[in-house]
Amino acid sequence: MNITVRNVRESDFEQLLELFREFSVFEQLPDKMTNSVKKMKDEKTFFHCFVAETAGGKIVGYASWFFCYYTWTGKSLYLDDLYIQPEYRSRGIGTDLIRRVIEKAKENGCRKVRWQVSKWNRPAIDFYRKIGAEINDVEQNCDLTVP
């Protein structure tokens, strides 16, 4: 199967929104998914993403990211989500997407790439360790919804 990894386009937003919904269900948090195509269009200057697309134009995975700054290390890249539809997993697509994110970080002089993984997601943990990621139990998520 021929898969192309490329930068996101605004015309991808509808397909991506469906993948976001899928991912929220996979993460067992569908009630947390509140994004919309309109919101994505309104906020597109903040949205950075690579998509994995079939030759037929179907987006089967994505890696969303943003630049951030950590006081201890400096400029970094945060991988927000990496998701591949189940039927397309174990084909190297996740590796291609994360490599693209790492390349972006290097091109921009980032000191590190950071992301989170759910403690129950053993396949993802194994994948991340295989590519050299250090996974610890030191920090926990803190979310505050701004009304």
Which residues have a catalytic role annotated? 128
**Can you tell me which residue has the tokens 């309109």?**
38
Please give the Cα distance from 124 to 116 (Å, whole number): 10
- Token couple for 77: 């890249």
The DSSP call for residue 29 is: -
Q: Quick one: tokens of 143?
A: 């979310």
Name the percent of the chain in helix, strand, coil, to the closest 5.
Answer: 40, 25, 35
Residue 38 gets the label, from left (phi > 0), alpha (psi -120 to 50) or beta, of: alpha
Secondary element (H or E) of residue 38: helix 37-42
